[in-house]
Structure 1
Amino acid sequence: MSEEARVREQICDLAKSLFDRGLTHGSTGNISARTSDGGLLVSPTGTSFGRLDPSRLSRVDSEGRHVSGDKPTKEMPLHTSFYDTRSQAGAVVHLHSCHAVAWSMMPDVNEDDFLPPLTPYAIMQLGRVKLLPFFRPGDPAMGEAVRGLAGKRTAVMLANHGPVVAGKDVEAACNAIEELEATARLAMLTCGCRPRQLKAEEILDLVTTFNVEWEA
């Protein structure tokens, strides 16, 4: 099996796992991975994560031209904004996961640090998550907002919409976005209960030990 064939299978397998566990629903969400020639494999527009076909994934060349497969997701500007600003990004995942979306609607959420420091794992896998304002789905302005971060964040949360995470490969990106959703769920479960959060020195220890990108 070629490397590209392996990545095609991995995209579909991990997308189905996310769908089967309710982390995205219907035809929501999109996923992409960088290819060895600088192009992208992308989930097609209007498709379900539960029923992706490896042979029908969109293939986009290094110039951004659709060269094979079904028509790519309308959120392409969102994906390319991560690849263009983060050279280490090998995959991007966008979900409409319920608890992350719910937490984005809370009135006192910190826009520069979307997730409260409840466990070490979100810090280790995501760093600080930026909450972006609401955009119409497919609006190229979403991509411009990510570009405005100049590659300093691996993850953003689109308000009232869903999280977007870049990782070194498909598995890393999927693992990180699952951690984002799990932390948002904890935040909703403990909302109003004044839970114990990690202390500043505990966060600093994690950032230093695990070489986490931790932009203010």
Structure 2
Amino acid sequence: MTDQKATNVTWHEGEVTRADRYRLLKQKGATIWFTGLSGSGKSTIAVALEKALHQQGKLCYRLDGDNVRLGINKNLGFSAEDRTENIRRIGEIAKLFVDAGVIALSSFVSPYRDDRDLVRKLHEDAGIDFIEVHVDVPLAVAEERDPKGLYKKARAGEIKNFTGISDPYEAPLKPELVLPSHELSLEAEIKAVLKLLNARDIVPTT
């Protein structure tokens, strides 16, 4: 947990509540956190899910690993410490989106279990939904896909601290959903996520 450096600060509540925002948007916010190896299919699933939810009239926003590192987290690298801070910041951002009533779709390798558990606790302490989805593929499959050529560079020693090659990936112990993306079609994966969101009353069946 990151220490609080600023002193004499207090959280200020407004007169518009989370429930008020949910009623205005006619939806409930939640974070769907996709985790898995690079090349597992996290971003592909998140993009397709965003489109499916939008078509159902749901306001959602996709937080993607590269996109975030090009902006708010551009000062972070890929050391264990920087990865932890990267995920902590994203968790806080996702929590704010959910508090506003938005469904946050977060697709990040997020290789360390403790970091993901911290994000879960941030949400649980705030009384908001956090759904962990493990996009699970064998390393050989992810490496064969290698859409960005990163595994090839990591094997050649050109990229340090690369998850699955020189850094570990700690799979979730109790995710809400596991998607073996090498065995399922994209359509089946989206149906599985939507079914879970229906069951959690985040996207009610109409």
Compute the TM-score of the two structures, normalised by the length of structure 2: 0.30
Higher relative CO (CA 8 A, sep ≥ 6), structure 1 or 2? 2
TM-score by length of structure 1 reads 0.29
